[in-house]
Amino acid sequence: MDNSRLASAVEEAIPPATAWKDFLSLIKIGIVNSNLITTFTGLWIAIIMTEKHFLQSLDIVFLTLLGTSLIIAGSCALNNYIDRDIDPIMERTKDRPTVTGRISGGKVLAIGFIFIAAGLFMVFMTNMTAGLISIVGVFSYVVLYSMWSKRRYVSNTVIGSISGAVPPLIGWAAVDPSLPAMAWMLFLLMFIWQPPHFYALAMRRVEEYRAANIPMLPVVKGFAATKRSIIMWVALLLPLPFFMSSLGTPFVIFATILNVGWLILGIAGYKMKNNIKWATFMFVYSLNYLTILFTAMVIFTVI
């Protein structure tokens, strides 16, 4: 078979990535969607706590959710641009359009900055507090995490957790800029959730992070220290539901059960010889934990 026919056969065997899939990969649609859940929860609870009417607040809901989505999508695009030199080394990132060249660096920057600017404009239309918090989120993710700490410090995950904890605070601030203690509990919950989630992921991808020279905790300190750290962070979640009693006793009980379940799974890891298998259990639990807990907050304010 000649080279041209061989190339043609390869092209037929490998379906080309669509522009839409490349776009979704660029903005990290999974991160956008998960953060939308926490943003909406903060917004919803604030509406309930301030005794406002949801339908009468649809303008704020629309501006906040769309604006936050654009901000997160734009920030993720900039993160992809910054990481385009190390993404080819890692299996889960090697097919990003910034690596393959299907989206040029100039277009990535344009998408990132335009999305962030449009998103900030929308959020600032709700009120100044929500807008300023959004700026903090962008700065902490793009500058403090992506540009500064990710490649330098083992504490990069903790620093990056600031930006991941901001969305529910934005949602709440858009409705109630006074930001009572309950709003900060949502922020704290998201902040504490992220290290055990991403440390578990880092354990599963430890060799990729090592090859890319990213000082993730399991790369620098090893699995034993990472497992201890994961359990410590999960344990820090235990008291939080008791500071969220305004959501009702059933929620406090439900959240506590979720927290205890995660802690038990973590402690059981010391008896497992397969660290990667344990990390996978912890990672999957963390994903379900976040979705279930924030959905439960909405449900328990309705029933």
Q: Measured between alpha carbons, how far apart are the two ends of the chain, in Å?
A: 68
- Residue-wise pLDDT for 104-146, tens only, equals 999 999 999 999 999 999 999 999 999 999 999 999 999 999 9
Per-residue burial over 235-258, b = 16 or more CB atoms within 10 Å of its CB, e = otherwise: bbbeebbeebeebeeebbebbbeb
Percentages (nearest 5) of helix, strand, coil residues in the chain: 80, 0, 20
**194-217 residue pLDDT tens:** 999 999 999 999 999 999 999 999
Residue predicted with more confidence, 302 or 280: 280
The pLDDT tens digits for 226-265 are 999 999 999 999 999 999 999 999 999 999 999 999 999 9
| Nearest of 162, 187, 170 to residue 132 by alpha carbon | 170
Token representation of residue 40? 């909406």
Q: Which positions ≥6 away from 241 have C-beta within 8 Å?
A: 251, 252, 255, 256, 259
Residue 89 has a pLDDT of 87
